[in-house]
Amino acid sequence: MVERRTLSVSPLSGTVTREVLHEVFQPYGHLTVTMQDDGHALLVYESPAAARLAKQAMHNQPLHAAALKLQWADDSAPDTSTLSEQLAHLHSMVKLLGTEVQIIRAGLDMKKKPSSTLLLKRGRR
């Protein structure tokens, strides 16, 4: 499953600036706006959910006398994943993160122990 966060928005008139786009699209989530030379802009949201919401809400909406066309910048194919697939992916990522945190904690605990403790444990074999 692709977690898409980047939208391409066009057509943009000469009066549409980065600041205008940020103001229009910021209500859907935190984003970065990058203007392109060919009359479109890239909107990169921090969250895939915010990008989906912005796309649904703003596609074909007027801005400075032009109907905006929003499409996925990284993949123009529609998102066919179900909510249950997305939740399963999120659950697996949380499990992986938990394992990484445990490994890091174990490594930090080993660094905190005085060397005499480690020597005593080795000598008990």
CB 85 within 8 A of CB 26: no
Query: What would the two tokens of residue 22 be?
Result: 């940020």
Q: Predicted confidence band at 30 (pLDDT cuts at 50, 70, 90)?
A: very high
Average pLDDT estimate for 1-30: 92
Q: How far apart are CA 54 and CA 33, in angstroms?
A: 13
Calculated CA dihedral for residues 23, 29, 33, 39, nearest 10 degrees: -70
Q: How far apart are CA 102 and CA 108, in angstroms?
A: 10
DSSP states along 62-107:
EETTEE-EEEESS--S-----HHHHHHHHHHHHHHHHHHHHHHHHH
Which tens digit of pLDDT belongs to each residue from 61-113?
A: 999 989 999 999 975 444 445 666 556 656 665 665 676 667 676 766 666 65
Segment 32-64, tens digit of pLDDT: 999 998 889 999 999 999 999 999 999 999 999
Q: What is the pLDDT of residue 39?
A: 87
What type of residue sits at position 86?
Q
Residue given tokens 């697939």 in the structure block? 85
pTM score of the predicted model: 0.58
Question: Can you give the pLDDT at residue 38?
Answer: 87
